[in-house]
Structure 1
């Protein structure tokens, strides 16, 4: 298989993985580009469920004597971490297999009902706008007022583990986020608070897009724009001291797929404001856009 003569790669173009044939990668991105975001997220969902199912099957094979409670406990250890088995509520229900994309839609519906603006970011957003991949949890940014906190807790507490103290700390500015865990599926969502006085955070909210799969309208939710997930991932990459290959691969995946449709002026403006200008330039080069 060879590249079409019309395809000219820039000198600094980098493949998504060292063992990836560039010709095959170009074809793969062309196929993904022809898909709607819902189809790309369906691929990510299938990959995530597959990983979770493999983890569960491995636990069952190693421990055939475990009952449903201890089976879920071992699954929580493997997917969330040892510290989460201390949450008794998580062990009171039989494990149901789902994925973070389903969870994002479920939480999005709750937030819409409470008139709390939000958008989904993280690897769900990068899979919708770029290379689909599995993900462990959902990242959701919300714009919540103090008087809405109790309504949110009450709306979630029957199906989720949610800490009143953690929510209060985030709302009062003592922390930047809190976690919720869906009790039956043991999937975690990281909830980040949007500060109204931070211009870039508000910009992301203003530019959110509605994700609406025609075949599964119950999975409708708001997602951040391609440009904003690139910038978010660049910030995370910087926070990792430029060591996170996963973040960098997500960045290049979105840029390669979105290509000329990206708002370069927006990316250049905010990368300068956020002190990641050199990283955005590198990303443009390695994705073949410079």
Structure 2
């Protein structure tokens, strides 16, 4: 059975991750849409603390519905890299990035927030608004992508009165995006 929508795919994969016992959080465009203004996307980005055994279990869990390479998931867990799950019917893709063991990445998973799925039947974990901004700025630093900047700015504008700016400043310095954060704050009117 193929996923009929990106949200259905999100619910299926996050439930499968929870069934493995992996700690995860949705990030990327989905997180930007939740914390900022909606954006369209053909994929779901997830960060996870995933063991090799959990990666293999995840592949088995979703394999009847999605293309999932168990070896790729195991390797991603061991190497702290990325693996994909693909819905062949829709072309939607889930990118699972296994987090490196750094103080910042530990914070990302500690600060994640539980969000109710729009159908009201399930919920899933998503990175905090602050970490959505920091991740977008870090990805922008690597790619110089205007899309990453626009998504970060959208979250900053929508959430500006609720953001933990001390947390943002601390980790922006650690991630080497402090100048980008300063520019973002100016553009967001903070």
Q: Fold-level match, TM-score > 0.5?
A: yes
- Please point out which of 237, 243, 255 is paired with 2:156: 255
Contact 2:56 2:71 in 1 (8 A): no
Provide the aligned C-alpha RMSD in A.
1.7
Give the ranges of 4+ consecutive aligned residues of structure 1 lying more than 4 Å apart after TM superposition. none
Contact 1:209 1:224 in 2 (8 A): yes
- Please point out which of 278, 281, 288 is paired with 2:182: 281
1:194 and 2:137 are equivalent in the alignment: no
Return the offset for 1:148.
2.3
- For 1:229, the equivalent position in structure 2 comes to 132
Change in 2 beyond 3 A, CA 1:191/1:113: same
Any unmatched runs of 5+ in structure 1? Answer: 1-92
Rounded Cα–Cα distance in structure 1 between residues aligned with 2:70 and 2:49:
17
Higher strand share: 2
Q: Give the match's secondary structure for 1:148.
A: helix
- For 1:168, the equivalent position in structure 2 comes to 74
Return the offset for 1:219.
4.4
Rounded Cα–Cα distance in structure 2 between residues aligned with 1:103 and 1:114:
17
Rounded Cα–Cα distance in structure 2 between residues aligned with 1:157 and 1:96:
12
- For 2:109, the equivalent position in structure 1 comes to 205
Return the offset for 1:134.
0.7
Q: Deviations over 1:234-275 (max 9, x none)?
A: 0011011x3x22111111100110012100000000000111
TM-score by length of 1: 0.62
- Aligned positions, number: 190
Any unmatched runs of 5+ in structure 2? Answer: none
Contact 1:110 1:155 in 2 (8 A): yes
Return the offset for 1:167.
1.5
Q: Compare CA radii of gyration and give the structure with the larger one.
A: 1
- Please point out which of 135, 143, 152 is paired with 2:49: 143
Q: Deviations over 1:95-142 (max 9, x none)?
A: 76412x332221111111221111000000011000111112000111
Q: Give the match's secondary structure for 1:103.
A: helix
Q: Give the match's secondary structure for 1:222.
A: strand
Q: Deviations over 1:146-167 (max 9, x none)?
A: 3323222211211110112311
- For 1:46, the equivalent position in structure 2 comes to none
Q: Give the match's secondary structure for 1:102.
A: helix
- For 2:24, the equivalent position in structure 1 comes to 118
Change in 2 beyond 3 A, CA 1:279/1:121: same
- Please point out which of 38, 46, 68 is paired with 1:132: 38
TM-score by length of 2: 0.93
Contact 1:105 1:218 in 2 (8 A): no
